[in-house]
């Protein structure tokens, strides 16, 4: 049995630690932050509302295996996320659907009418390479400008045309009335929150967790295996230069005198304000406490790395680091930061489950 160091106690690290511990390995988990659960960390604020310190984390997956795996560590609360975008003074569904078109253009389209509308306004693009191509190809220039261009500029500090197709392709276009943000088979929130789920994952006799601890030079050579879940460029001392990551600043606020401020979990502001969106946490948790707590997300170039920036040149730089990573025979690089992938939580879990197969 091996001695294994896991760097990072977010989804990638916690899943790897749990799987390896269950195989009988001795696992030490370190994280530079003072808490587990990475960016999925949730906690009760001083008003008793369960909030996500690093912005809204909504679990959804089509992966039965992934859902069943996490179900060992948590009960679930059924929750389908809905998002409205404030556009031209109205709050309308995003992803853009039939309701969005009817509200925005004062129409009464049925599904076939909505399909015909998109067909009329869309700008066919081929090949589809950038996020601008994706959006113009499905909804044309006006809806692109109303819903996507401003939001994307705020979120990424770049134009849609400067981002790979995958970014905007996260958001579908619909001709029906389905106003759910996701359509995955499994849409649930951990019933007692993410942090409790992580505590349960890491609660194993073979696992020790040390918080507020950096990866040291000695650690790098002291273990049979390392699972590294931090930024890959940092691991290699930025030897090829920095990989861009986008950051966010979170403005949390408690409103004592209202039980609910917005109709749905998240309202997006594509065109006004410096923040991209406001999330009201009670929608996510179903809590019935008095007052309500919200968070505004302000995108930032500097700060903790939250999003890899999907662009061909960044991918090329990542591949240089990956070539170095491939030579590190006893180090696994797993997760959003180590694999430089705009992964959702379930995809990180899937990547971690796959990665640990490499360690017997
Ligand atoms: N997006 C947009 N307008 C919206 C929602 C999303 O332009 O109202 C674009 C934007 O570029 C955003 C991307 O689609 O970064 C992905 O959105 P998602 O909600 O999946 O972002 P996340 O929750 O990962 O921050």
CA 168 – ligand 1 centroid, Å: 7
Name the residue at shortest CA distance from atom 18 of ligand 1: 170
pLDDT of the chain, 360 residues: tens digit per residue? 899 999 999 999 999 999 999 999 999 999 999 999 999 999 999 999 999 999 999 999 999 999 999 999 999 999 999 999 999 999 999 999 999 999 999 999 999 999 999 999 999 999 999 999 999 999 999 999 999 999 999 999 999 999 999 999 999 999 999 999 999 999 999 999 999 999 999 999 999 999 999 999 999 999 999 999 999 999 999 999 999 999 999 999 999 999 999 999 999 999 999 999 999 999 999 999 999 999 999 999 999 999 999 999 999 999 999 999 999 999 999 999 999 999 999 999 999 999 999 888
Residues in the chain: 360
Sign of the Cα pseudo-torsion (156, 161, 164, 166, in order): positive
CA 171 – ligand 1 centroid, Å: 7
| Residue 170 per-residue DSSP state | T
| Residue 171 per-residue DSSP state | S
Q: 206: helix, coil or strand?
A: coil
- Per-residue model confidence (pLDDT) at position 39: 98
CA distance 128 to 125: 6
CA distance 68 to 79: 17
CA distance 140 to 133: 9
- DSSP for 329-354 reads TTEEE-STTTTT----HHHHHHHHHH
Ligand 1 in reach of 308 Cβ (< 6 A):
no
Q: Which domains does the chain have, with CATH numbers?
A: 3-79+185-243+308-355 (3.40.50.720), 83-168 (no CATH)
- DSSP for 242-278 reads PPPEEEEEEEEEEETT-S-SSSSSEEE-SSSSSSSEE
Q: Which two tokens stand for residue 153?
A: 């500029």
Ligand 1 in reach of 317 Cβ (< 6 A):
no
pTM to 2 decimals? Answer: 0.97
Ligand 1 in reach of 39 Cβ (< 6 A):
no
Phi, psi of 225 (to 5 degrees): -140, 150
* Cα 97–chain centre separation: 23
CA 348 – ligand 1 centroid, Å: 19
Which of 57, 100, 148 has the most ligand 1 atoms within 8 A of CB, as the residue to mutate? 148
CA distance 148 to 142: 10
Query: How much helix, strand and coil, in percent to the nearest 5, is found in the chain?
Result: 35, 20, 40
Classify residue 349 as exposed, middle or buried by CB count within 10 Å of its CB (0-12, 13-18, 19+). buried
| Residue 161 per-residue DSSP state | G
Among all chains, which residue has been given the structure tokens 């009335």?
Answer: 177
- Per-residue model confidence (pLDDT) at position 360: 84
- CA-based end-to-end distance of the chain: 9
CA 2 – ligand 1 centroid, Å: 42
- Per-residue model confidence (pLDDT) at position 358: 86
CA 282 – ligand 1 centroid, Å: 21
CA distance 288 to 144: 37
CA 225 – ligand 1 centroid, Å: 36
CA 237 – ligand 1 centroid, Å: 31
Phi, psi of 86 (to 5 degrees): -85, 110
Ligand 1 in reach of 168 Cβ (< 6 A):
yes
Ligand 1 in reach of 151 Cβ (< 6 A):
yes
Ligand 1 in reach of 269 Cβ (< 6 A):
no
Are 40 and 59 spatial neighbours (Cβ–Cβ below 8 Å)? no
């Amino acid at each position: 049995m091996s001695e294994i160091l896991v760097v990072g106690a977010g989804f990638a690290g916690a899943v790897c630690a749990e799987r390896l511990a269950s195989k009988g390995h001795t696992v030490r988990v370190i994280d530079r932050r003072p808490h587990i659960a990475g960016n999925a960390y949730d906690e009760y604020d001083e008003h008793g509302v369960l909030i996500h310190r690093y912005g809204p984390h909504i679990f959804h997956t089509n992966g039965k295996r992934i859902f069943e795996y996490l179900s060992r560590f948590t009960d679930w609360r059924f929750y389908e996320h809905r998002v409205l975008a404030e556009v031209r003074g109205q709050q309308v569904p995003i992803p853009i659907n039939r309701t969005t078109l009817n509200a925005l253009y004062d129409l009464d389209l049925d599904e076939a009418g909505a399909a015909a509308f998109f067909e009329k306004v869309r700008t066919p693009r081929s090949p589809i390479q950038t996020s601008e191509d994706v959006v113009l190809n499905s909804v044309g220039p006006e809806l692109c400008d109303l819903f996507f261009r401003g939001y994307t500029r705020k979120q990424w500090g770049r134009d849609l045309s400067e981002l790979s197709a995958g970014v905007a392709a996260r958001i579908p276009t619909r001709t029906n009335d389905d106003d759910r943000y996701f359509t995955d088979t499994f849409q649930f929130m951990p019933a007692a929150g993410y942090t409790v789920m992580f505590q349960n994952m890491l609660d194993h006799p073979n696992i020790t967790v040390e918080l507020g601890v950096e990866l040291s030079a000695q650690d790098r050579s002291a273990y049979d295996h390392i699972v590294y879940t931090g930024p890959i460029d940092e691991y290699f001392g930025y030897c090829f230069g920095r990989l861009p990551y986008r950051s966010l600043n979170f403005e949390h606020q408690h409103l004592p005198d209202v039980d609910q401020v917005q109709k749905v979990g998240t309202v997006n502001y594509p065109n006004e304000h410096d923040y991209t969106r406001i999330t009201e946490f009670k929608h996510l948790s179903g809590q019935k406490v008095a007052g309500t707590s919200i968070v505004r997300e302000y995108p930032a170039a500097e700060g903790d790395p939250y999003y890899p920036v999907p662009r061909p040149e960044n991918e090329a730089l990542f591949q240089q680091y990956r070539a170095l990573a491939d030579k590190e025979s006893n180090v696994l690089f797993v997760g959003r930061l180590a694999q430089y992938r705009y992964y959702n939580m379930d995809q990180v879990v899937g990547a971690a489950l796959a990665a640990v197969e490499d360690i017997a």
